[in-house]
């Protein structure tokens, strides 16, 4: 769960996906280009490979199709801002013990910027993008054995797309 988001957030923040969009690069090339130490970059690349965000081959690392479509800032369906929103939300919740101790509002929560509709509009836009990703993902999954799905709040879009294809699937939302 959260580890995937942290790996993804690190890669987005460091610019790894942008560096791999047009040509594969070795770990040494990436480290040099991004001004990072190769020894520290390697575990992140390994994690991204394991999570299927990048591929590794003889020419170095390259993007998977999903990453190319949704994790490069210049793409129309870029999801990176949604990940940043998730991280910002998590940071606000991690301060909950201090909020309770002090009885003061959480000053870390700055997502709304005094405009209650900002997050709503962002979620609506992100939902439209996730719907496309969900449809694409579902086209590659063998649904014959799927009987039940458990999803978080973001997964509701995936569940919605799944139910269009296989309405008999039961689901549970866990948030």
Greatest Cα-to-Cα distance within the chain, rounded to the nearest angstrom:
57
Query: What is the rounded average pLDDT for all residues in the chain?
Result: 79
Stated as kind and residue range, the H or E segment containing 45 is: helix 38-50
pLDDT of residue 125: 61
Residue 168 DSSP symbol: T
Residue bearing tokens 């870390």 = 108
Q: How large a percentage of the chain has pLDDT more than 70?
A: 70
Q: Both tokens of residue 3?
A: 């580890």
Write out pLDDT tens, residues 75-89. Answer: 887 888 777 777 776
8 A C-beta contact, residue 160 and residue 131 = yes
The alpha-carbon radius of gyration of the chain (Å, integer) is 19
3-state secondary structure of 161: helix
Write out pLDDT tens, residues 70-125. Answer: 899 988 878 887 777 777 767 666 777 777 777 766 555 554 445 555 555 556 66
* pLDDT surpassing 80 at residue 21: yes
Residue bearing tokens 């689901």 = 171
pLDDT band at 149 (very low <50, low <70, confident <90, very high): confident
Taking residue 19's Cβ as centre, other Cβ atoms within 10 Å add up to 18
pLDDT of residue 123: 61
Considering only residues 45 and 157, tell me which one the structure prediction assigns the higher pLDDT.
45
Write out pLDDT tens, residues 28-53. Answer: 999 999 999 999 999 999 999 998 99
8 A C-beta contact, residue 143 and residue 166 = yes
**Residue 172 CB contacts under 8 Å (≥ 6 apart), including other chains:** 148, 149, 150, 151
8 A C-beta contact, residue 157 and residue 127 = yes
* pLDDT surpassing 60 at residue 17: yes
The secondary structure of the chain in percent helix, strand, coil, rounded to multiples of 5, reads 60, 10, 30
* Backbone phi, psi, residue 35, to 5°: 60, 50
* pTM given for the model: 0.60
Query: What is the pLDDT averaged over residues 126-140?
Result: 69
* pLDDT surpassing 90 at residue 174: no
Stated as kind and residue range, the H or E segment containing 151 is: strand 148-151
pLDDT of residue 126: 62
């Amino acid at each position: 769960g959260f580890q995937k988001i942290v790996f993804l957030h690190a890669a987005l923040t460091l610019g790894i996906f942008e560096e791999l969009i047009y040509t594969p690069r070795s770990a040494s090339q990436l480290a040099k280009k991004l001004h990072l130490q190769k020894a520290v970059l390697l575990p992140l690349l390994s994690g991204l490979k394991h999570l299927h965000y990048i591929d590794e081959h003889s020419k170095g690392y390259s993007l998977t199709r999903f990453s190319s479509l949704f994790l490069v800032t210049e793409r129309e369906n870029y999801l990176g801002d949604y990940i940043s929103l998730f991280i910002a939300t998590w940071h606000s919740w991690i301060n909950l013990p201090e909020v309770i101790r002090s009885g003061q509002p959480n000053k870390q929560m700055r997502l709304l910027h005094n405009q209650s509709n900002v997050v709503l509009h962002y979620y609506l836009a992100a939902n439209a993008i996730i719907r496309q990703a969900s449809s694409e993902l579902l086209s590659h999954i063998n649904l014959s054995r799927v009987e039940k799905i458990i999803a978080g709040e973001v997964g509701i879009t995936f569940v919605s797309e799944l139910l269009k294809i296989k309405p008999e699937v039961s689901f549970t939302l866990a948030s």
